[in-house]
C-alpha cells in the first residue's frame, strides 16, 4: 500500500469520482471508503499485484476502483441496477474489473464466472452478512483472506452494536475461519466494524 505521509493513495488514473490526486496518485479517503478506513484504523490485508479479489456489494465502484489499482483482477458483484450503471462505466476504464450483476446470497449464479480468489471483500450491509460471507468463502483459496465490513444496525437494530459484533465473530469462527483482526471504524464510519479472517 502506498502512503504519502498520512495519506493513503492508490496508483491509477484519476477522475473516477472526483477524487483528489496527490503525487500523481489517487487519494483514497477513509471517510468515503470503509476499506480505506480499515487501513487507517487497523491493519487490513496488504493489496498486491498478483492478487485476485471477489468484491461483494460493489455499488458504484468507488472502492472497487482503488482495489483494482493495486491488484490483478476484481470480480465485482452488485445487484442494484442504478449503481451497476456507474460500475460498468468504471469497469470500462479499467481492464481488470469484471462487473457481475448478481445477488451475493446466491453465489451459484456467478460461480461459473469467478476464479479462486486470494481476497473476499464483503460490504453488502444485509441482516445475514456473516452467512453471505461464509457462503462465498467457497471461492477463497486456502490461506486466503476475508474482509467483512459489518454494519451492525443492518444486522439487528434492537441489539447493541457490540453484541452484533461478538455474534458475528462467533459465526465466522464456527464456520472454520480464523479471525485475524476485528476493529471498529470510528471515527470514519459510525457503527461499522471490519473483521479480517483467514481461511486455514
Q: What number of residues does the chain have?
A: 200
In the region spanning residues 118 to 157, those forming contacts with ligand SAM, defined by CB under 6 A, are 123-126
In the region spanning residues 159 to 198, those forming contacts with ligand SAM, defined by CB under 6 A, are none
CB of 71 vs ligand SAM, minimal distance in Å: 15
Q: Which of 16, 59, 91, 119 binds ligand SAM (CB under 6 A)?
A: 59
Q: Which of 9, 28, 47, 63 binds ligand SAM (CB under 6 A)?
A: 63
Cell 464466472 belongs to 113
Q: Segment contacting ligand SAM (CB under 6 A): 54-62, 110-118, 133-141, 183-191?
A: 54-62
Q: How many CB atoms lie within 10 A of CB 43?
A: 12
User: Rule CB under 6 A: is residue 104 a binding residue for ligand SAM?
Assistant: yes
User: Rule CB under 6 A: is residue 69 a binding residue for ligand SAM?
Assistant: no
Q: Is 80 helix (H, G, I), strand (E, B) or coil?
A: coil
Cell 469462527 belongs to 173
Q: How many residues bind ligand SAM (CB under 6 A)?
A: 18
CA distance 189 to 172: 22
Helix or strand (DSSP H, E) at 5: none
Evaluate the omega torsion of the peptide bond into residue 84 and state whether it is cis, within 30 degrees of 0.
Answer: no
Q: Segment contacting ligand SAM (CB under 6 A): 21-29, 100-108, 133-141, 178-186?
A: 100-108
Q: Is the four-CA dihedral 154, 155, 157, 159 of positive or negative sign?
A: negative
The residues that touch ligand SAM, with contacts defined as CB under 6 A, are: 33-34, 57, 59, 62-63, 77-80, 83, 103-105, 123-126
Amino acid at each position: 500500500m502506498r502512503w504519502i505521509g498520512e495519506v493513503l493513495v492508490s496508483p491509477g488514473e484519476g477522475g473516477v469520482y472526483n477524487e483528489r490526486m496527490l503525487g500523481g496518485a489517487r487519494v483514497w479517503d477513509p471517510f468515503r471508503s470503509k476499506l480505506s478506513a480499515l487501513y487507517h484504523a487497523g491493519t487490513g490485508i496488504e493489496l498486491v499485484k498478483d492478487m485476485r479479489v471477489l468484491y461483494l456489494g460493489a455499488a458504484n465502484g468507488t472502492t472497487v476502483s482503488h482495489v483494482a489499482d493495486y491488484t490483478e483482477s476484481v470480480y465485482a458483484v452488485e445487484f442494484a441496477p442504478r449503481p451497476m450503471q456507474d460500475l460498468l462505466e468504471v469497469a470500462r476504464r479499467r481492464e481488470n474489473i469484471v462487473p457481475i450483476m448478481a445477488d451475493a446470497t446466491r453465489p451459484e449464479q456467478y460461480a461459473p464466472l469467478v476464479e479462486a480468489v486470494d481476497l473476499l471483500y464483503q460490504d453488502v450491509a444485509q441482516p445475514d452478512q456473516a452467512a453471505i460471507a461464509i457462503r462465498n468463502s467457497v471461492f477463497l483459496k486456502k490461506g486466503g483472506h476475508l474482509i467483512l465490513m459489518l454494519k451492525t444496525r443492518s444486522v439487528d437494530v434492537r441489539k447493541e452494536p457490540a453484541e452484533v459484533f461478538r455474534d458475528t465473530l462467533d459465526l465466522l469462527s464456527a464456520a472454520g475461519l480464523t479471525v485475524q483482526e476485528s476493529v471498529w471504524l470510528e471515527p470514519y464510519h459510525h457503527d461499522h466494524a471490519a473483521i479480517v479472517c483467514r481461511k486455514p
